[in-house]
Structure 1
Amino acid sequence: MSNLYLGLMSGTSMDGVDVAIVDFSKIKPSIIDCKTYDYPPALVRTLNSLCASSGNELVAMGHADREVAEVFAHAVNDILLKNEISASKIAAIGSHGQTIRHHPCGNNGFTLQIGDPNTIAVLTGIDVIADFRRKDIALGGQGAPLTPAFHQAIFRHSHHSRVILNIGGIANITHIPSDAQQSVLGFDTGPGNTLMDAWCQKHLSLPYDANGAWAAKGSHDAQLLKKLLNEPFFTLPAPKSTGRELFHLAWLEQHLADYPKSVSKECVQTTLAMLTACSIAQQINQLEGVEEVFVCGGGASNDFLMECLENELVECDLRTTDDLGVSPDSVEAIAFAWLAYAFNLDMPGNLPSVTGASRPAVLGAYFPAH
């Protein structure tokens, strides 16, 4: 069997799909290529509408399920063409899909990702492994985050206790102790870029605040920050996960409506950057013995956010996964290539110490191309 896999990942930012070609023939995976492919604007609007209740949701979701899959398949075919790699050389595609709802708690908790894997398999001619989260939820887990098992396999260091911090739309951390006998911990910390992006889209008509330039012009409002940090999610014990179901523009605007004084739009953006930095740092600072924090995801490119985060962290070095030889933009896509690889090798893809599942499990379902 080939050791070449593709990983497809689209996160809570809902702006496109990251695609990675990964070679697992050696102990440390080799990344052949990684690219990002944007969603068409009309699909972005549909996906955002599917994150909240609306009319005719089921039909809209059905169409979007196929449209997302078509974007994913185009991305696969394009990156293989550019690298002159035949589809027959790929063992499988690991597709995360696009999350549109994540409600893992309570009776019959669920998570829902779209991007029909059957369509991806047909349009690429490559077997697809998908639907990674629901087995973990069936076992009583959160179904998220799933990347810690990959982080443990690839980034553990025998002498340094590390945190891998992913700042996508939502931020999550993986704590990897240097002692292999200690359990790996991982959980969502709260908002990553999602609130900053939403505020920027509303008031600047830009998809995001490039390098945090707008936020850097202002100063944060300490009382507003304190009010936002009172959100109960931040003090919940792990395992825990969240999404845009909680941290969305209406959540922010309700807090602003209840706030007794007027705050400039620029000041709000600065405060949101501080909210992300403080909510992450508070939870990392509670972990024992952390020496290094490596950042991946879109937030790694936000210079102002990284500066805020560095100021809030206590006694640990802050770097990006570039220093580990992996581009911050490719880590999540590589992780889902690894989950497909783990599926084919009958290896567990979850960590019960992270998700709260009752046992380790092989994650995913198989969608053959032929």
Structure 2
Amino acid sequence: MSIGNYYIGIMSGTSLDAIDVVIAQRTERGLIQIAGMAPAMPETLRQQLLTICADKKFDLQTLGEVDHLFALTCADVVNQLLKKSKIDASQITAIGSHGQTIFHSPLTAMPFTQQIGDSNIIAAKTTIPCISDFRRMDMAYGGQGAPLVPAFHQALFAIPTEQRIILNIGGIANVSILGADNSVLGYDTGPGNMLMDAWIEKCLGEPYDKNGHFAQQGYVNKALLEKLLTDEYFSLSAPKSTGREKFNLLWLEQHLVHKQLSNVDIQRTLLEFTAITIADQIKLHSEKAAVFVCGGGALNPLLMQRLQQRLTNHIVSDTNALNVDPMFVEAIAFAWLAEQRLLENPIPLKSVTGAARDAILGCVYLPR
């Protein structure tokens, strides 16, 4: 198939709050977003995904139906964006779809990762080739299959004159350390918004803490904070990756046993927990590099403030400073991964995931 200049990226992460879709164009600067939208995840679908991800009892019929429904939803958002942007599907070379992760298990005897969102359906309903299943070839070569975005961060943001750090704060937070020598290191630091989202939904029925307002009403509880920080994940060396199967509401509630704390104090403590676990990892690798934040956490002013206060030698801003919308960096990454798959370029990730070699990632689904 011919390689064109327009690609679509679809991303829905561990936060389960929205489906991010972008149209990106290949330019001399790289793959640049020209349109995007992030409609909220339909509530029925969101609750079904939460049930599956929480490892509650469900059958294969339910899993298959949610796989189908999620794909239909993604295709519908793609078609909406094309209509809104007045771009014909025939102009799009391919869609890169991350799929929705329902379980990630890189360290078990038989490592695996599972994403749903049938790419056959996305290709058929949009008439555009769809590329997905980006993680498992990396895992086949002994890697963790995550995070994938550091390779894209390197391609788009790295410069030969200075070290830069790209910090994605979605449900899980991951960091990319971009060296001036073209080196890249990246891994999941731990929870991003996930625990804060889970707690405010339990308390107020809200999917996230808008502008950190709920957390601003509380105080950090030192005893709870210290207990949360004892989790073994934070002492693991990279490569490492994690997700909702590890850090979830049950994990949090196990740390709250016998503790009589106000809801706002727990929320504030969770925010501080996220800031500390991120900042500590950044300081391991950099004394003063600029930190550019993307993902939903970039919209939380209290979290951004606490990151800056804990990274006193660093300037913390969001990726708007690099002329990229922080809400769509990951979606653009999957448009880029689709392009790289069609070009048959190995993705330079072995220094990130621990794979034995860099590999060509993704499977192609053609609507014909």
Cα shift at 1:57: 2.9
The one-letter amino acid paired with 2:253 is: E
The aligned counterpart of 1:196 is 196
Question: Please, which of 147, 153, 156 is the counterpart of residue 145 of structure 1?
Answer: 147
Question: Please, which of 304, 319, 322 is the counterpart of residue 320 of structure 2?
Answer: 322
The aligned counterpart of 1:170 is 172
Structure 1: distance between partners of 2:233 and 2:55: 22
The aligned counterpart of 1:30 is 32
Q: Deviations over 1:27-71 (max 9, x none)?
A: 422211111022221111100011133334321110001100001
Structure 1: distance between partners of 2:352 and 2:269: 29
Structure 2: distance between partners of 1:12 and 1:121: 24
Q: 2:96 matched to 1:98?
A: no
Name which of structure 1's ranges 23-32 and 209-218 shifts more when overlaid on structure 2: 23-32
Cα shift at 1:116: 0.2
The alignment of Structure 1 onto Structure 2 pairs a total of residues equal to 366
Taking the TM superposition and a 5 Å limit, the aligned residue runs for 1:117-132 are: 117-132=119-134
The aligned counterpart of 1:367 is 365
Structure 1: distance between partners of 2:346 and 2:207: 37
Taking the TM superposition and a 5 Å limit, the aligned residue runs for 1:107-118 are: 107-118=109-120
Q: Deviations over 1:67-95 (max 9, x none)?
A: 00001000111101111111010000000
The aligned counterpart of 2:345 is 347
Q: Deviations over 1:243-286 (max 9, x none)?
A: 011110111111010x5x42111100000000000000011011
Structure 2: distance between partners of 1:27 and 1:331: 15
Q: Deviations over 1:84-124 (max 9, x none)?
A: 11101000000000001001112211100000000000000
Taking the TM superposition and a 5 Å limit, the aligned residue runs for 1:277-356 are: 277-356=275-354
Structure 1: distance between partners of 2:93 and 2:366: 11
Work out whether residues 52 and 58 of structure 2, in 8 Å CA contact, stay in contact via their aligned partners in 1: no
Structure 1: distance between partners of 2:318 and 2:150: 16
Cα shift at 1:314: 3.9
Structure 1: distance between partners of 2:347 and 2:83: 30
Please tell me the root mean square deviation across aligned C-alpha atoms, in Å: 1.1
Work out whether residues 287 and 313 of structure 2, in 8 Å CA contact, stay in contact via their aligned partners in 1: no
Structure 2: distance between partners of 1:22 and 1:248: 33
The aligned counterpart of 1:264 is 262
Q: 2:214 matched to 1:214?
A: yes
Cα shift at 1:289: 4.2
Structure 2: distance between partners of 1:88 and 1:137: 33
After TM superposition, the runs of 4+ consecutive aligned structure 1 residues lying more than 2 A away are 25-30, 52-57
SS in 2 for 1:38: coil
Identity, in percent, stands at: 50
SS in 2 for 1:11: coil
Structure 2: distance between partners of 1:43 and 1:243: 19
Q: Deviations over 1:213-257 (max 9, x none)?
A: 110111101121111001110110000000011110111111010
The one-letter amino acid paired with 1:103 is: S
Work out whether residues 50 and 57 of structure 1, in 8 Å CA contact, stay in contact via their aligned partners in 2: no
Name which of structure 1's ranges 32-41 and 354-363 shifts more when overlaid on structure 2: 32-41
Structure 1: distance between partners of 2:356 and 2:310: 35
Cα shift at 1:349: 2.4
- Unpaired runs of at least 5, structure 2: none
Q: Deviations over 1:179-231 (max 9, x none)?
A: 22xx3100000000000000000101111110101101111011211110011
Structure 2: distance between partners of 1:144 and 1:55: 27
What TM-score, normalized to structure 1?
0.97
SS in 1 for 2:256: helix
Structure 2: distance between partners of 1:128 and 1:97: 11
Structure 1: distance between partners of 2:277 and 2:307: 10
Q: 2:63 matched to 1:61?
A: yes
Cα shift at 1:15: 2.0
Work out whether residues 285 and 314 of structure 1, in 8 Å CA contact, stay in contact via their aligned partners in 2: no
Work out whether residues 160 and 292 of structure 1, in 8 Å CA contact, stay in contact via their aligned partners in 2: no
The aligned counterpart of 2:86 is 84
The aligned counterpart of 1:255 is 255
Name which of structure 1's ranges 55-64 and 357-366 shifts more when overlaid on structure 2: 55-64
The aligned counterpart of 2:230 is 230
Work out whether residues 349 and 362 of structure 1, in 8 Å CA contact, stay in contact via their aligned partners in 2: yes
The aligned counterpart of 1:205 is 205
Q: Deviations over 1:124-175 (max 9, x none)?
A: 0000110000111111111000000000000002222111000000000000
